[in-house]
């Protein structure tokens, strides 16, 4: 589910998950196996909704009437309707709208071969998950989100082997340029080690 306003009413602080799932069942005869919350972190700016990355919690819950309201809605469909919930997370993108972007702007940005930073939509930038400060902060999001939501299915997005994502910074503790197979594998291995055994992690690429 990725259309921001359709499944939540900010005025009533009510979710439309049940209505949408019932409509799906009316078409296919069954509920979907998984409700994947892709673009659940968003901002509303200049009259438009936009996705944001790199925080996945605290202020993001404010869009849903608080953490408990969000958690209760997810568990309603998971526990009472039998539809598994998957929460989307991205390990390396960080949006400038978050205060913590400033903590990493001067230390952790991926440096492109051209010397530039790598951006998405002009307001979010790739951080290097080999750089220790950002890596530890990024890793800490996953167990924290599980603790807050109780959802044991988490999507780890875009561990890609795209050459353009290699980092050329000389102070991040990796080879120049970074070896994406190595940095991805090290990150994923650490993530698996720190997560409770009952949590399922999955993504779109294998590394």
Q: What is the pLDDT of residues 37-62, one digit of tens each?
A: 988 998 877 767 788 999 999 999 99
Average pLDDT over residues 115-142: 95
**Cis peptide preceding 177, ω within 30 of 0:** yes
CA angle 191, 37, 26 (to 5 degrees): 140
Mean pLDDT of the chain: 91
CB atoms within 10 A of CB 175: 12
- Which of 54-58, 70-74, 159-163 has the least mean pLDDT? 159-163
Q: Residue count of the chain, please give it.
A: 207
Q: How far apart are CA 201 and CA 10, in angstroms?
A: 30
């Amino acid at each position: 589910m990725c259309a921001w306003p359709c499944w939540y009413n900010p005025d009533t602080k009510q979710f439309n998950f049940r209505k949408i799932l019932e409509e799906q069942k009316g078409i296919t005869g069954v509920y979907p196996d998984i409700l994947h919350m892709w673009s659940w972190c968003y901002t509303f700016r200049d009259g438009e909704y936009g996705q944001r990355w790199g925080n996945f919690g605290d202020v993001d819950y404010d869009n849903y009437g608080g953490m408990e309201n969000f958690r209760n809605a997810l568990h309603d469909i998971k526990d009472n309707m039998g539809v598994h919930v998957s929460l989307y997370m991205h390990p390396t993108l960080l949006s400038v709208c978050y205060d913590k972007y400033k903590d990493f702007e001067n230390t952790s940005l991926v440096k492109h071969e051209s010397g530039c930073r790598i951006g998405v939509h002009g307001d979010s930038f790739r951080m290097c998950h080999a750089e220790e400060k950002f890596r530890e902060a990024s890793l800490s999001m996953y167990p924290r989100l599980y603790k807050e939501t109780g959802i044991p299915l988490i999507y780890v997005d875009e561990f890609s082997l795209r050459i353009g994502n290699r980092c050329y910074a000389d102070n991040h503790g990796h080879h120049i340029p970074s070896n994406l197979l190595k940095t991805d594998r090290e990150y994923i291995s650490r993530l698996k080690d720190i997560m409770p055994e009952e949590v399922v992690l999955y993504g779109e690429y294998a590394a």
